[in-house]
Amino acid sequence: SGGAKKYKVVLLGESGVGKSSLVLRLVKDEWIESQHSTVGASFFRYACHLEEGTTVNYDIWDTAGQERYKSLASMYYRSAAAALVVYDITSADSFERAKYWVRELTTNSPETIITLVGNKCDLEHQRKVSFDDAKRYSQEMGLLHCESSAKEGTRVQTIFVEIARKLTAT
C-alpha cells in the first residue's frame, strides 16, 4: 500500500571504478568489458520491488568521473535522496577520491544517504583497499558500505534494496 515512491540517486567516483557498469548490471543485467567512459552524465530509471509489496522508483544519475567534469557533479547530487560513492578495491587512489566525494556530500548535501561501494571485488588478488579499513571509515562517517562486482553481478541489486529500506523507513 501507499503507492510507489520516487527518489533521485547519484553515482559519484573516480573515472574507471565501474559506475556505468554497475548501472548497466542493475537495469539490464548486462556486462560489457569495453564500457565507454561517460560524457557528462547518463540518466536511467529503475523500479526496485521490496518483498512487502512496496515499489521504490529510482531516477539514477550516472556521473562522469573524469577530472574535467568534476565541477558539474553538484548539479547531479543536489537534492539527491541517496548517493553511491564508488571506488575500485584495486586502487588506493580511487578510495582517496571516494573520501573526497563523501566530504563534498556531507558538507553540501547533508540529507543525502551515502553508500560507499567498493567495486571490482572479483579482483581479490589485486586488492589494495582492505575491507576492514573501508568498513571502519564508513562507520566513522555514518555511511552504508558494501563491496560489489558489476562483472559478476555481486550485490548490485542488494545495494538498491538496502537504500530503499533506509529511504522508506524515514
Binding span for ligand GTP by CB under 6 A among 2-10, 29-37, 44-52, 95-103: 29-37
Q: How far is the CB of 82 from ligand GTP (least distance, A)?
A: 17
Q: Which long-range contacts (CB under 8 A, 24 or more apart) does 123-129 make?
A: 123/89, 123/90, 124/89, 126/90, 127/89, 127/90, 128/89, 128/90, 128/91, 128/92, 128/95, 129/87, 129/89, 129/90, 129/91, 129/92, 129/94, 129/95
Total interface residues for ligand GTP by CB under 6 A: 22
Instruction: Looking at 29-169, list the stretches that DSSP marks H as alpha helix, in order from N- to C-terminal side.
Output: 73-77, 92-108, 131-141, 156-169
Which residue of 91, 112, 119, 138 would you call a contact of ligand GTP, by CB under 6 A? Answer: 119
Which residue of 9, 38, 77, 147 would you call a contact of ligand GTP, by CB under 6 A? Answer: 38
Over the window 35 to 74, marking each residue x when it contacts Mg ion by CB under 5 A and - when it does not, the resulting string is ---x------------------------------------
Q: Which positions touch ligand GTP (CB under 6 A)?
A: 13, 15-21, 33, 35, 37-38, 64-66, 119-120, 122-123, 149-151
